[in-house]
C-alpha cells in the first residue's frame, strides 16, 4: 500500500521460482508470489513505469530530472525468460535479461561495499553489525537459500564460481508444508510449526533405545534419529497427525552436534553441511547467507550461526545481510549502470 502511494523512478526485477523481488529507486521494496505475476504486471502498469533506464541515468547524472519512457526493465531469475512475452504483451516492455549468478554476486558485493550496517553476525538473539574492510572482503562463500540453494565462491568484483548447490531448499519446505498441512502461506506454516511437537512424528534415539541415550557417540535420548520415522511403525494416516506437529517436524532436524542439542530445519541442515564442507574445501572463513528463506528469522539465523561456529571450531563465521532477499534484484538494478 505504501508503495502504491510512492513515485517510482527506476526499478529492476528478480523473478524466481517462488517469489518476484522488486527493487526500485525508493526507500521501499516489495515481493510478490511468482504464481501471481499478473498482480506484479498490474502494479507496474498502474505506476505507468515506462521510462527508459539509460535515459534515467543520463538525466540523473546531468541533473536534468527524469526521462520520459522506459523501453525495458532489467530483470534476472528464470522468470525473466519465462515471463518475457507476458511483459511485452501486457506492458509493451521488454525484460533486459541479466544472468542470475552475476546478479546475486554483484548484488552482494554492492551491499557489502556501499551500504552501511548491512552485514551482521547473529548469536543468542543478538545482532552484531560487522564493518567489512573493503580490502579484506574476498574471498567469501555466498549461500543463497531460495526455492533451491546455490553456493558461490566469490573471489572478486566479477570473479566467482558456483561451487555447489542443493535442490532441497525453501521451495521444498514450503511445498511439502502446503501439501501436508494445508497451510496456504510461508508465514502460516512457520507460525503453525511454533505450536507443534515434532516428537509425535519424528523417531528419536530414545524410541529405538528404550528411552536411553546413545551416549557413546554423544546422542541423547531426545535426539532425532529419523525425521518422520514414527510414521513408519504407527498404523496411522496423515489425518491422524496434527498439522502443527507435521509443520514442526518439517522444521526440525538432528544437527548432529554433540554438545548442543540443536534441532535444525531440514532445509538448512542440508544446505549448512554442504556450505560448511565447501568453506573447508576452499579455506573460506566467511560465509554470507542470503535468499528470502532466511528473511530475518531469529530461529533460522541462530541455528546457522551455532552450527557454523561448532563445525569450524570457531574458525569460520556465518554472516547475514539486512537485504538478504534482494541480492539478485539489486544486481539487476546495478547492471543497468554497469
**Among 74, 107, 255, 291, which residue interacts with ligand ADP (rule: CB under 6 A)?**
291
For residues 65 and 81, the answer to whether their CB atoms sit within 8 Å is: no
Question: Which grid coordinates are listed for 328?
Answer: 539478485
Name residues contacting ligand ADP, limited to 297-326 (CB under 6 A): 325
Between CA 273 and CA 255 the distance in angstroms is 9
Name residues contacting ligand ADP, limited to 7-26 (CB under 6 A): 16-19
Site string for ligand ADP, 108-147 (x = CB under 6 A): --------------------------------------xx
Q: How far is the CB of 245 from ligand ADP (least distance, A)?
A: 20
Give the residue with the Cβ less far from ligand ADP, 17 or 165.
Answer: 17
Between CA 252 and CA 261 the distance in angstroms is 12
Task: Tell me which residue has cell 558456483.
Answer: 162
Residues near ligand ADP (CB under 6 A), total:
19
**Among 292, 301, 308, 336, which residue interacts with ligand ADP (rule: CB under 6 A)?**
292
**Nearest in space to 46 (alpha carbons), one of 83, 1, 76:** 1
**Strand pairing report for 126-129 and 224-226:** unpaired
Q: How far is the CB of 147 from ligand ADP (least distance, A)?
A: 3
For residues 257 and 273, the answer to whether their CB atoms sit within 8 Å is: no
Give the residue with the Cβ less far from ligand ADP, 140 or 173.
Answer: 173
DSSP 66: -
**Among 122, 186, 288, 289, which residue interacts with ligand ADP (rule: CB under 6 A)?**
186
Give the residue with the Cβ less far from ligand ADP, 16 or 196.
Answer: 16
Site string for ligand ADP, 44-83 (x = CB under 6 A): ---------------------------------x------
Under the binding rule (CB under 6 A), the answer on residue 196 touching ligand ADP is no
Under the binding rule (CB under 6 A), the answer on residue 295 touching ligand ADP is yes
Specify the 3-state DSSP secondary structure of 179: helix
**Nearest in space to 180 (alpha carbons), one of 247, 266, 265, 267:** 247
Strands (E), the chain: 11-15, 19-24, 29-33, 72-76, 94-97, 119-123, 126-129, 140-145, 149-156, 159-166, 203-204, 224-226, 286-290, 317-321
**Among 104, 174, 231, 247, which residue interacts with ligand ADP (rule: CB under 6 A)?**
174
Under the binding rule (CB under 6 A), the answer on residue 255 touching ligand ADP is no
> CB nearest ligand ADP: which residue?
16
**Nearest in space to 122 (alpha carbons), one of 315, 319, 287:** 319
Stretch that binds ligand ADP, among 135-143, 165-173, 197-205, 329-337 (CB under 6 A): 165-173
Task: Tell me which residue has cell 507443534.
Answer: 196
Stretch that binds ligand ADP, among 89-97, 191-199, 203-211, 289-297 (CB under 6 A): 289-297
Cβ partners under 8 Å of residue 157, min gap 6? 106, 109
Q: How far is the CB of 179 from ligand ADP (least distance, A)?
A: 14
Task: Tell me which residue has cell 553476525.
Answer: 121
Between CA 85 and CA 23 the distance in angstroms is 21
Under the binding rule (CB under 6 A), the answer on residue 173 touching ligand ADP is yes
Stretch that binds ligand ADP, among 46-54, 104-112, 120-128, 166-174 (CB under 6 A): 166-174
Q: How far is the CB of 324 from ligand ADP (least distance, A)?
A: 8
* Binding positions for ligand ADP, rule: CB under 6 A: 16-19, 33, 77, 146-147, 170-171, 173-174, 185-186, 291-293, 295, 325
Amino acid at each position: 500500500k505504501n508503495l502504491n502511494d510512492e513515485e517510482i523512478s527506476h526499478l529492476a526485477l528478480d523473478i524466481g521460482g517462488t517469489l518476484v523481488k522488486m527493487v526500485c529507486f525508493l526507500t521501499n521494496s516489495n515481493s510478490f508470489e511468482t504464481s501471481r505475476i499478473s498482480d506484479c504486471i498490474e502494479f507496474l502498469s498502474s505506476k505507468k513505469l515506462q521510462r527508459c533506464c539509460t535515459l534515467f541515468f543520463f538525466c540523473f547524472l546531468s541533473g536534468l530530472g527524469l526521462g520520459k519512457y522506459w523501453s525495458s526493465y532489467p530483470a534476472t531469475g528464470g522468470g525473466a525468460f519465462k515471463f518475457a512475452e507476458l511483459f511485452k504483451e501486457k506492458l509493451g516492455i521488454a525484460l533486459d535479461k541479466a544472468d542470475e549468478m552475476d546478479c546475486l554476486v554483484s548484488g552482494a558485493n554492492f551491499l557489502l561495499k556501499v551500504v552501511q550496517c548491512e552485514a551482521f553476525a547473529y548469536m543468542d538473539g543478538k545482532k552484531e553489525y560487522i564493518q567489512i574492510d573493503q580490502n579484506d572482503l574476498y574471498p567469501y562463500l555466498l549461500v543463497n537459500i531460495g526455492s533451491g540453494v546455490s553456493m558461490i565462491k566469490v573471489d572478486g568484483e566479477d570473479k566467482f564460481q558456483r561451487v555447489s548447490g542443493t535442490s532441497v531448499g525453501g521451495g521444498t519446505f514450503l511445498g511439502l508444508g502446503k501439501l501436508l498441512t494445508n497451510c496456504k502461506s510461508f508465514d502460516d506454516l512457520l507460525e503453525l510449526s511454533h505450536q507443534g511437537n515434532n516428537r509425535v512424528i519424528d523417531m528419536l534415539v530414545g524410541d529405538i533405545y528404550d528411552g536411553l541415550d546413545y551416549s557413546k557417540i554423544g546422542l541423547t535420548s531426545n535426539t532425532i534419529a529419523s525425521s518422520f520415522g514414527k510414521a513408519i511403525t504407527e498404523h496411522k494416516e496423515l489425518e491422524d497427525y496434527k498439522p502443527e506437529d507435521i509443520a514442526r517436524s518439517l522444521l526440525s532436524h538432528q544437527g548432529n552436534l554433540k554438545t548442543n542439542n540443536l534441532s535444525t530445519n531440514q532445509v538448512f541442515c542440508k544446505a549448512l553441511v554442504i556450505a560448511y564442507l565447501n568453506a573447508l574445501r576452499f579455506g573460506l572463513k566467511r560465509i554470507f547467507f542470503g535468499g528470502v528463506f532466511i528473511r530475518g528469522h531469529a530461529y533460522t539465523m541462530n541455528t546457522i550461526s551455532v552450527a557454523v561456529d561448532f563445525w569450524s571450531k570457531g574458525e569460520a563465521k556465518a554472516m547475514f545481510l539486512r537485504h538478504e532477499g534482494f541480492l539478485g534484484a539489486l544486481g539487476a538494478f546495478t547492471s543497468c549502470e554497469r
